Amino acid sequence: MAAPSCIFCKIIRQEIPSAIIKENQAAIAIKDISPRAPVHYLIIPKIHIESVAHMSDTEATVAAQMLILARDIAADAGIVGFNLITNNGASAGQSVMHMHVHFLAGKDIYEHGLSL
Ligand code: 5GP
Ligand code: ZN
């Protein structure tokens, strides 16, 4: 179900312009408006899901399509190393309450001591 006031739903409905990189049946990838890496895309499901925590078992097929889209974007661009980050909940840095994955490349996100 689309959410009328959700900024990412508006982008998907093309009511707000965005730089579309690639899409598949379930997800769209756009350039982040405020890039924090040389390559910074957002992979966004076409249906409104608030966050991973709100995703139903059925909607998990959408998550698979999001990863497939990330794989295909990397393959298209010859990107070998990339990071996929999903902020889940305001306390974890999520600012747009429509689930998305940050696709980051060309930056060492571990340079300041973060280790996973
Ligand atoms: P979050 O903080 O929720 O994990 O990530 C939200 C991301 O959406 C941020 O990186 C922010 O720069 C990006 N963003 C917010 N509004 C827009 C917009 O209107 N267009 C695009 N392309 N990105 C947006
Ligand atoms: Zn939405």
Domains located in the chain, CATH noted? 7-105 (3.30.428.10)
- When pLDDT is averaged across residues 33-58 and rounded to a whole number, the result is 98
Do 98 and 9 touch, CB atoms closer than 8 A?
A: yes
Catalytic residue among 40, 48, 98, 100: 100
pTM confidence score:
0.97
User: If you take atom 20 of ligand 1, which residue's CA is the nearest one?
Assistant: 33
The per-residue pLDDT for range 7-39, each reduced to its tens digit, is 999 999 999 999 999 999 999 999 999 999 999
**Contact yes or no for 97/53 (Cβ under 8 A):** no
Is 5 a pocket residue for ligand 1 (Cβ < 6 Å)? Answer: no
pLDDT of residue 10: 98
Tracing tokens 């990863």 back to the chain, one arrives at: 67
Indicate if ligand 1 lies below 6 Å from the C-beta of 32: yes
Please give the pLDDT value at position 1. Answer: 59
- Measured from the Cβ of residue 22, the count of other Cβ atoms closer than 10 Å reads 16
pLDDT per residue as tens digits for the range 71-95: 999 999 999 999 999 999 999 999 9
Task: Band the pLDDT of 4: cuts 50, 70, 90.
Answer: confident
- The predicted structure's pLDDT at residue 67: 98
Gap between the Cα atoms of 15 and 105, Å rounded: 28
What's the confidence (pLDDT) of residue 116? Answer: 85
